[in-house]
Structure 1
Amino acid sequence: MNWKALEHVPLLLYVLAAKTLILCLAFAAAKMYQRRQLDAKQQKLGAEKKAPVVKKES
């Protein structure tokens, strides 16, 4: 068995953990961005429904 390869296991685990953390944060940020976009769209639609419709008669 190659014992030299086992010396790099802790470093590889740290790299794997860092990559996992970065991916999780990226997905969480994407979900937050999507949620903000959806909330803004819903507020815009809600404001349009509440505002009275004023028609110009010529």
Structure 2
Amino acid sequence: MNWKVLEHVPLLLYILAAKTLILCLAFAGVKMYQRRSLEGKLQAEKRKQSEKKAS
């Protein structure tokens, strides 16, 4: 068996962990962006409705 391969296992695990962390952070960022966008749209609708009621 090639034991040289086993020397690289810790490095590969670090790379896998870093990649997973980056993907999780990216996913969380996208979700935050979507939520802010949706909240902005809802606030705009509320403003329009309140302006209609006021006039």
- On whether the aligned pair clears a TM of 0.5, the verdict is yes
TM-score normalized by the length of structure 2: 0.92
Read off the aligned partner of 1:36 and give its amino acid letter.
R
> What pairs with 1:20-35 in structure 2 (closer than 5 Å)?
20-35=20-35
Percent of aligned pairs sharing the same letter: 66
Aligned residues: 53
Moved over 3 A (4+): none
Read off the aligned partner of 2:29 and give its amino acid letter.
A
TM-score normalized by the length of structure 1: 0.88
Question: 1:10 corresponds to which residue?
Answer: 10
Looking at secondary structure, tell me which structure has more helix per residue.
2
Question: 2:44 corresponds to which residue?
Answer: 44
The Cα shift of 1:33 comes to 0.2
5+ residue gaps, structure 2, are none
Q: Of the two, which has the highest radius of gyration? A: 1
5+ residue gaps, structure 1, are 54-58
RMSD: 0.7
* Counterparts of 1:28 and 1:46, CA distance in 2: 27
